[in-house]
Amino acid sequence: MKRYNFLPTLTCLFAMLLAFTNAWSQSATPGTYSLVVEGFDWGPAVNKVVLDMGESLSEPPGGEFTVSASRSTDLAEIPEALASGKRTVLSTYLSDASGNRTPDGSHLTLVLEVGPRLGLGSPFHYAQNEKVRGNFWVDYQVSVTHRPSLRTWNRQSGKIMPLVDRFDLTGKYEYAPGKQMSYAAYTPESGNGKKPLIIWLHGGGEGGTDPTIALLGNRAANYASEDIQVLFGGAHVLVPQAPTFWMNREGGGYTRGDAEDIYNEGLLALIKNYVADHADIDTDRVYVGGCSNGGYMSLKLLLKDPGYFAGAYISALAYHSEYLSDSQISSIRKVPIWFMHAKDDPVTKPEDTVVPVYNRLVAAGARNVHFSYFDHVVDITGIYGGPGFHYSGHWSWIYSHANIARHDLDGGPVLVDGRPVTVMEWLAAQEK
């Protein structure tokens, strides 16, 4: 039997591959990358990195990519474990510069592991001190290395926020002399007829002058997603931002309804001014909702002008029932409202807020008021533990943004024309 010696051939192939790899790595200076930031149930995360490969590729390079991340700020101290470390790469694919998958291209997208317990993945940090109050952006940097070639990417060229980038982030409204309120606004694609307006009011940790905080801190940008927009036939989305926090009372500190806050008049003026400036908004379909601080303010706006809003969706209500008079309750009994709250909410305790408010509305004759009352706020994706994984009981807004609240207080489905609906399907059906 004749024997063949494959060693010279294999050696030649290996030498060619090594020469190609060395040529690629030696000719390439450190490359640039863009971060992809998206909102999740627990908050924002850097879930992808888009690498500029500098040449057109027909398939992703083989071999491992390593990603080192760092989070820094001069506004607060970041714990060492959350300041720097390795990120896990789940997969890679060829893409365009925005991270959209393509059959070939000059960019490579790395998909990174994210999760509610992976704090290193967050581009936000939460702190309360003399410099900052609540959530804020950190300086988020990565260094990427392709292990076989030792090629690196360590210069950030941009930040991609897939849903947030659909919003106009430049909105400013002067609600008092020398005082401005920032807001983000989404305009639906043009079509026949007028469009409804969805208003979202953020929680206590998302105030300031950067509306991206309000859009990502509670995943509110999801109201511009196709899954929700289609239910309304396209809708404007308005996300105002309190300079501090919605429950800020005169002289500082919180009101829970026992005193006037400093923003409700200016906010209502902002909303009405925005509607007046957009002739395509259907004034019979203006909806307001929010969480915690924003839940308080949503109820406050209903009390100020009960006939203006066609419906409300409120999670983690922070308005205390004891500060609502019977006449105030009666004034909003005809406003369609859907409350969402968790029984184990440690911040806006339901026995002080939503439970008595709901019961009083029903007793006053409210016929279109609903209440989804959850035992816990759980992982709705099933990825991080499902029903066995509990978020803070305060985070009931998760069920609103994901549009999966569907049951009333008695455990039965909420119905519209005899059909079971989700909270956003119900909201879309409301009209003055």
Domain annotation for the chain: domains and CATH numbers: 30-160 (2.60.40.2180), 164-428 (3.40.50.1820)
pLDDT category of residue 26 using cuts at 50, 70 and 90: very low
Q: Looking at residues 240-252, what average pLDDT do you find?
A: 96
pTM of the model: 0.92
200: helix, coil or strand? strand
pLDDT category of residue 345 using cuts at 50, 70 and 90: very high
CA distance 28 to 31: 8
Q: Looking at residues 391-406, what average pLDDT do you find?
A: 98
Does the pLDDT value for residue 111 go beyond 80?
Answer: yes
Strand order in the sheet with 65-72: 84-87, 65-72, 139-146, 151-160, 31-40, 43-57, 105-112, 89-95
pLDDT at residue number 160: 98
CA distance 322 to 257: 8
Nearest 5°: the CA angle 90, 91, 93 is 155
Q: Name every residue whose Cβ is closer than 8 Å to that of residue 391 and which is 6 or more positions away in sequence.
A: 41, 42, 116, 376, 377, 378, 379, 398
Contact 33, 68 (CB under 8 A): no
Does the pLDDT value for residue 6 go beyond 60?
Answer: no
145-202 pLDDT tens trace:
999 999 999 999 999 999 999 999 999 999 999 999 999 999 998 778 899 999 999 9
Does the pLDDT value for residue 2 go beyond 50?
Answer: no
Instruction: Categorise residue 85: left if φ over 0, alpha if ψ from -120 to 50, beta otherwise.
Output: left
Kindly provide the residue ranges of all beta strands, DSSP E only, lying in 292-323, ordered along the sequence.
311-315
pLDDT at residue number 28: 59
Q: Looking at residues 86-102, what average pLDDT do you find?
A: 98
pLDDT category of residue 19 using cuts at 50, 70 and 90: very low
CA distance 33 to 108: 9
pLDDT at residue number 191: 75
Does the pLDDT value for residue 11 go beyond 50?
Answer: no
Percent of the chain with pLDDT over 90: 92
CA distance 165 to 149: 34
CA distances 155 to 26, 141, 262, Å, are: 18, 8, 43
Does the pLDDT value for residue 9 go beyond 80?
Answer: no
pLDDT category of residue 137 using cuts at 50, 70 and 90: very high
283-337 pLDDT tens trace:
999 999 999 999 999 999 999 999 999 999 999 999 999 999 999 999 999 999 9
pLDDT at residue number 199: 98
CA distance 287 to 424: 11
Beta-ladder partners of 255: none
pLDDT category of residue 24 using cuts at 50, 70 and 90: very low
